[in-house]
């Protein structure tokens, strides 16, 4: 126990002594590591990127190309995150991972950050992996409630691409638990997608509730009793000079190799223009302001949730703006609107979708389309409704409200509109959703 206390004191002193140095947007070792990554990109990207000039709304994955680089944008993003992981402040002996995806995850941490004496993996939804490393302790629990972890017993909490999966009161609970388990002078490290950049790209990921902006993340961790020491961006998707949105996927966006390097190198300096942010914060003596955390999180969620569940797309339609709405239109058959791949917590829902029929008069019983609500892969359909010509006056927007219940948590909920091909059909990329009685909402806002 004494050795653990000495290790904790050493960690606290190291964190305190390095606090001022960590305030820089990008530390020199991280810049050197990014330079090395950039050299790899210059060496191998040129031919591939010059050959990919077509811009597609939902492109197919790029063909695998032999060489030293990446096959997908996901691999590129993982490489950039790995650089940041390798540059976390050294010296942690006890590391807690909030959310852990399998044995590979612990191997990744060790390869990039280095060996730690004790690695606690907290995970509620996945089974304990086989063949865990000897230094790993698997805790089957929510990151919002970790009674198995002692007070002030952890040097570093790492939440990698996890907070955007939390809903209800779990984000507040996670930050409060982090404040409890991290030693004074210890570290909280979080990385996550930037909500506003995801919105601009109409990017939606299975299971996500709301993402945070870098400013919101900084506000919340301060309320939890941490002082932010570094806040950096990863992978520039908005030009800091012009405000132009840049393609997420450079392999299909027509980006040159120098442009890819530029976007990697500049991102740490511009977290608000980057697709992801990386935050490091030091535990102070300040108490966790739990009431302030709840209020601020509720404000963020109430404003952000409607945008999140309206990240919709099309597989067959042409897209335009009309009266402030994005509209998809098709003369053929297929999925005219789909998304947003959101979690459906158990409870009662109503959703309103709006469509318009074009073309000539049709027999009233003609099936012109279909509305449905689906979630997950097994027995996905929660509700469906056929659209008949009689339901849709020609050239008039018509709204339909579907009410459904979800008996247990489902992870990848979608609202969809299908066109039959019997006539031209249009769908607004806007749904009105009432799910306020479900556990996705913070308890202070939830309807009882």
pLDDT tens-digit readout, 187-215:
999 999 999 999 999 999 989 999 999 99
Query: In angstroms, rounded to a whole number, what is the distance separating the alpha carbons of residues 69 and 53?
Result: 19
Query: In angstroms, rounded to a whole number, what is the distance separating the alpha carbons of residues 394 and 222?
Result: 55
- Answer yes or no: is pLDDT of 352 > 90: yes
Q: Residue holding tokens 């070792």?
A: 29
pLDDT value at position 33? 46
- Answer yes or no: is pLDDT of 60 > 80: no
pTM for the model stands at 0.84
403's enclosing H/E stretch is strand 397-406
CA distances (Å), 8 to each of 49, 91, 216, 239, 401, in order? 48, 10, 30, 42, 57
Q: Give me the mean pLDDT over the 310-335 stretch.
A: 97
pLDDT value at position 448? 78
Q: Give me the mean pLDDT over the 150-157 stretch.
A: 98
- Answer yes or no: is pLDDT of 395 > 70: yes
Q: Of the ranges 254-263, 285-294, 325-334, which one carries the lowest mean pLDDT score?
A: 254-263
Q: How many residues would you count in the chain?
A: 448
Cis status of the peptide bond prior to 25, with omega within 30 of 0: no
DSSP state of 323: T
- Answer yes or no: is pLDDT of 217 > 80: yes
Token pair belonging to 57: 């709304």
φ, ψ for residue 286, nearest 5 deg: -70, 140
Bridge partners for 187 per DSSP: 156, 282
- CATH number belonging to domain 318-434: 2.60.120.260
Q: Residue holding tokens 């359909």?
A: 381
Q: Of the ranges 31-45, 127-141, 142-156, 355-369, which one carries the lowest mean pLDDT score?
A: 31-45
Chain-centre distance for alpha carbon 32? 27
CATH code 2.60.120.260 region(s) in the chain? 318-434
**Which residue spans within 143-181 are E strands per DSSP?**
154-160
- Answer yes or no: is pLDDT of 403 > 80: yes
φ, ψ for residue 225, nearest 5 deg: 105, 25
230's enclosing H/E stretch is strand 226-236
Query: In angstroms, rounded to a whole number, what is the distance separating the alpha carbons of residues 433 and 426?
Result: 20
CATH code 3.40.50.150 region(s) in the chain? 2-308
What percent of the chain lies above the pLDDT cut of 70?
Answer: 85
**Which residue spans within 237-296 are E strands per DSSP?**
274-283
**Who contacts 350 (Cβ-Cβ below 8 Å, separation ≥6)?**
401, 402, 403, 404, 433, 434
pLDDT value at position 180? 98
Query: In angstroms, rounded to a whole number, what is the distance separating the alpha carbons of residues 100 and 365?
Result: 52
pLDDT value at position 12? 41
Superfamily of domain 2-308: Vaccinia Virus protein VP39 (3.40.50.150)
């Amino acid at each position: 126990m004494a050795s653990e206390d000495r290790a904790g004191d050493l960690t606290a002193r190291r964190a305190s002594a390095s606090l001022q140095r960590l305030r820089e947007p990008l530390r020199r070792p991280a810049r050197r590591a990014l330079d090395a990554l950039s050299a790899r990109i210059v060496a191998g990207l040129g031919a591939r990127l010059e050959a990919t000039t077509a811009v597609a709304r939902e492109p197919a994955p790029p063909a695998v190309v032999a060489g030293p680089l990446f096959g997908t944008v996901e691999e590129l993003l993982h490489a950039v995150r790995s650089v940041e992981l390798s540059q976390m402040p050294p010296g942690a002996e006890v590391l807690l991972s909030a959310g852990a995806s399998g044995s590979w995850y612990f191997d990744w941490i060790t390869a990039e950050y280095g060996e730690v004496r004790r690695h606690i993996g907290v995970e509620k939804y996945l089974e304990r992996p086989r063949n865990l490393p000897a230094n790993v302790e698997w805790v089957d629990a929510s990151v919002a409630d970790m009674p198995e972890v002692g007070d002030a017993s952890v040097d570093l909490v790492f939440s990698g691409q996890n907070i955007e999966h939390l809903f209800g009161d779990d984000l507040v609970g996670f930050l409060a638990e982090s404040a409890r388990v991290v030693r004074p002078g210890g570290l909280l490290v979080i990385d996550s997608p930037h909500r506003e950049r995801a919105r601009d790209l109409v990017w939606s990921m299975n299971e996500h509730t709301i993402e945070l902006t870098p400013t919101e993340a900084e506000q919340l961790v301060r309320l939890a009793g941490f002082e932010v020491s570094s806040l950096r961006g990863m992978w520039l998707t908005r030009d800091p000079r012009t405000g132009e949105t840049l393609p997420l996927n450079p392999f299909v966006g027509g980006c040159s190799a120098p442009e890819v390097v530029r976007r990697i190198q500049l991102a740490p300096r511009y977290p608000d223009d980057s697709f992801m942010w990386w935050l490091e914060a030091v535990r102070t003596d300040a108490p966790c302001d739990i009431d302030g955390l709840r209020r601020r999180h509720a404000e963020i969620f109430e404003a952000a949730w409607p945008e999140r569940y309206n990240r919709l797309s099309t597989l067959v339609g042409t897209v335009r703006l009309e009266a402030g709405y994005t509209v998809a239109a098709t003369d053929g058959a297929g999925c005219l609107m789909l998304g947003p791949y959101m979690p459906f917590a158990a409870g009662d829902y109503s959703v309103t979708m709006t469509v318009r029929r074009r073309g000539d008069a049709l027999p009233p019983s003609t099936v012109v389309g279909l509305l449905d609500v689906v979630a997950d892969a097994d027995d996905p359909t929660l509700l469906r409704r056929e659209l008949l010509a009689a339901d849709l006056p020609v050239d008039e927007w018509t709204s339909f409200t579907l009410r459904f219940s979800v008996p247990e948590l489902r992870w990848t909920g979608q609202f969809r509109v299908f066109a039959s091909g019997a006539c031209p059909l249009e769908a607004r990329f806007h749904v009105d959703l009432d799910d306020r009685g479900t556990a996705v909402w913070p308890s202070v806002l939830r309807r009882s």
